[in-house]
Structure 1
Amino acid sequence: MSHMADEAREAPEAAARFLDRNAAALAELGARLRNTEPPVILTSARGSSDNAAGFFKYLTEILLGVPCASVGASVVSVYGGSLKARGALAITISQSGKSPDIVALQDAARTAGALTVAMVNVADSPAARNADICLALHAGEEKSVAATKSFIVSCVAGVAIVAYWLNDAALLGAVSRLPETLAEAAKITWPGFTAFAKDAGSLYVLGRGPSFPIAQEAALKLKETCAIHAEAYSIAEVMHGPWELMETGFPVLAYSPDDAAREITLEAVAKMRHAGAEVQVVGAGGLPFAGSGHALLDPISMILTTYLAIEKVAVELGRDPDRPRLLKKVTETM
């Protein structure tokens, strides 16, 4: 058994730790955000953490109506740009909290008048120390290069901020049940997925709304652990230029939680199959997933099951999912 699989299965306990140890800080932050009403949210992250930021973006824009944008760290660290961020909320998401460009962007946002919140797994890291508020992920050590539980807890942290900000009972309840939902997700297997993915020279991973950044995360994991060329697209965007690659047998993995985009997603899936593509759908009677009781949160449980499925593909291909050939756990960029 790889560290990747072990760590993915630790996500339910890690999520429970995060929610328990940060309950007071989340409640205080939620009250502060309701009082100050930030007009915009900025996020700073790279890799899997940036995918978690993308999930957070959809939740804030759908549920709060507050625009949320990922700011390129090089704007500050390389190009010396000056931010105008007075009154904004600036979220930093990082496993290590050490990358100089991420820390520089957070510092610039704080200097510009933003409230800075760091969601990091290393609580004594520069990003954690320099933020106005640190929400430690408490995911525990990850030995595998492929981030799994830290990504999932980052998504849980993002939805918890939104839930406490809204002070919405239904959403808060769904958040509190996420550790149980994730425990169910860890038990689910996709027996046909290995054969579907292992011989793919290239494939698409698709989603819409909150499931799109989950598709991006799945595509990233297929690349880094399996060396499979996987591209992630929004269901809407794939209907443009990328559609030209649809042909007989072309593999597509599509996420379809039971949210407002479900009907549109299934219409697109039908068109892909008509064009000859081999489409596997997570949800909608296809590959099973653990429902959270709130459709916008279901992508979090979907990625846990996906991680375990991808780990099996890597092993089948004779690759070590914990030690990709060219990658390392902490990447420090400028």
Structure 2
Amino acid sequence: MTDAEPGALMTAEIDQQPNMLATIAQNRADIAAVAEDIANHPPRFALLAARGSSDHAAIYAKYLIEVLLGLPVGLVSPSTTTLYGARPDLRDVLLVSVSQSGGSPDLLEVTQAAREAGARTVAVSNTPSSQLFAAADLAVDIGAGQERAVAATKTYTATLLSLYLLVDAIRGGKGEAAADIGERAEATLRDSADQVARAVDRYRFADRVVAAARGYSYATALESSLKLAETSYLQTRAYSGADLLHGPVAAVDEETAVLGVTSTGRGGDVMGDVLAAVGDRGADVLAVGSAASRMPAALRIDVPETVEEIAPVLEILPVQRLALRLSLARGGNPDNPRGLHKVTKTR
């Protein structure tokens, strides 16, 4: 397959992830140094700023920080800074700006303004030469290497793993739970291939997809929805499983495909009732995750079991491949979706 063939770039970048993740897990020194600085300046609370796929990674980090560090966390609305000129008092606050490209003007402005307002600022990006890195007090290079396909794949999982290692190191951990993440990622892609192929055959003519999850995996539901929308132009929505049952479930019917992310742990444990409810309404359910075999679903994509807080690094891998192959089956080119660019400039 040459780079010019549709899907060649996205295919290569999906396949690079096991080795990339193993390398990130093994080379923790820079992340540990940033974590030590944060631990030595304990914040009152944390704020997260991001856009797009990076926003989903930030939501994952929100769960990590609240659960593992016991700190309250908020998601920044960049426009309050860029459009409305808000300048809240951020003394003793940790602000983490997540941008794979480091090229979002609004995140740069948010980071600069937060630093001026007294926050301890951290940039998490794949571009150490970016202005965002220069603007922050501290920086984490996620080390994914160049990503050429428009749809983010390896930069997304690299961001997730880097954020996990950062939070784990702040609490004094050494990343033990992620030590074999490369092997688990390789097993995920290898062992899910046939299940992904069956899902492609089943959903290639779908028009509407709802993704749902609870807990840490909510970030995976959000990213799954985005990947399917941007590569296959599907009408997609993502919900917390709890929110789905609080109203939106009324729009679920026989014409709806539901992708339920269900890994072993507290979040996955409560997804059984959610998937049963949408199944009762006639939805075609695909369960993805290490708890998929226990879920009421028409199709399942299994993922190796790991501790719940790093399951999102693995869960998204077969969904990336599903998005890739659905796009190709529907006549698209996932490397270059129409109307999209690698870096989106917003303010």
Sort the TM-score into its range (normalised by shorter chain): over 0.9
RMSD: 1.5
What are the residue-to-residue correspondences of 1:108-187 with 2, within 5 Å?
108-168=113-173, 172-187=175-190
2:73 counterpart of 1:59 = no
SS in 1 for 2:266: coil
Shift of 1:146: 0.2
TM-score (ref. length: structure 1): 0.94
> Which residue is equivalent to 1:276?
282
Shift of 1:191: 2.4
Shift of 1:20: 4.2
Shift of 1:331: 0.9
> Which residue is equivalent to 1:298?
311
User: Would the aligned equivalents of 1:200 and 1:251 in 2 still touch at CA under 8 Å?
Assistant: yes
Q: State how far apart, in whole Å, the 1-side matches of 2:182 and 2:80 are.
A: 37
SS in 1 for 2:96: strand
User: Would the aligned equivalents of 1:83 and 1:108 in 2 still touch at CA under 8 Å?
Assistant: no
Which range moves more in the overlay, 27-36 or 222-231? Answer: 27-36
Which digits, 9 at most, give the CA deviation of each residue in 1:168-215, with x for residues without a partner?
Answer: 36xx21122222222222212222211332212211000101111110
> Which residue is equivalent to 1:259?
265
The partner residue of 1:216 within 222, 240, 243 is 222
User: Would the aligned equivalents of 2:215 and 2:266 in 1 still touch at CA under 8 Å?
Assistant: no
Q: Structure 1 unaligned runs (5+)?
A: none
Q: State how far apart, in whole Å, the 1-side matches of 2:167 and 2:321 are.
A: 28
The partner residue of 2:329 within 304, 316, 334 is 316
Q: State how far apart, in whole Å, the 1-side matches of 2:325 and 2:148 are.
A: 18
Which digits, 9 at most, give the CA deviation of each residue in 1:17-39, with x for residues without a partner?
Answer: 33444x22222233333333212
Q: State how far apart, in whole Å, the 1-side matches of 2:78 and 2:136 are.
A: 16
TM-score (ref. length: structure 2): 0.91
Which range moves more in the overlay, 178-187 or 85-94? Answer: 178-187
Q: State how far apart, in whole Å, the 1-side matches of 2:56 and 2:74 are.
A: 12
* Residue type of the alignment partner of 1:178: I
Shift of 1:260: 0.9
SS in 2 for 1:42: strand
SS in 1 for 2:301: coil
User: Would the aligned equivalents of 1:90 and 1:115 in 2 still touch at CA under 8 Å?
Assistant: yes
Shift of 1:289: 0.9
2:15 counterpart of 1:2 = no
What are the residue-to-residue correspondences of 1:100-115 with 2, within 5 Å?
100-115=105-120
Q: State how far apart, in whole Å, the 2-side matches of 1:20 and 1:123 are.
A: 19
Q: Structure 2 unaligned runs (5+)?
A: 1-6, 294-299
Which range moves more in the overlay, 8-17 or 48-57? Answer: 8-17
> Which residue is equivalent to 2:200?
194
Which digits, 9 at most, give the CA deviation of each residue in 1:143-186, with x for residues without a partner?
Answer: 110011001100001101111011236xx211222222222222
Shift of 1:14: 2.3
Shift of 1:249: 4.5
SS in 1 for 2:215: coil
* Residue type of the alignment partner of 1:281: A
The partner residue of 1:204 within 186, 193, 210 is 210
> Which residue is equivalent to 2:242?
236
User: Would the aligned equivalents of 2:24 and 2:142 in 1 still touch at CA under 8 Å?
Assistant: yes
Q: State how far apart, in whole Å, the 2-side matches of 1:77 and 1:194 are.
A: 41
User: Would the aligned equivalents of 1:18 and 1:136 in 2 still touch at CA under 8 Å?
Assistant: no
User: Would the aligned equivalents of 1:146 and 1:322 in 2 still touch at CA under 8 Å?
Assistant: yes
* Residue type of the alignment partner of 2:301: L
Percentage identity across aligned positions? 31
> Which residue is equivalent to 1:288?
302
Q: State how far apart, in whole Å, the 1-side matches of 2:37 and 2:208 are.
A: 46
Q: State how far apart, in whole Å, the 2-side matches of 1:147 and 1:61 are.
A: 26
Q: State how far apart, in whole Å, the 2-side matches of 1:320 and 1:28 are.
A: 41
SS in 2 for 1:186: helix
* Residue type of the alignment partner of 1:326: G
* Residue type of the alignment partner of 2:201: A
When the two structures are aligned, how many residues end up with a matched partner? 330
Shift of 1:256: 0.6
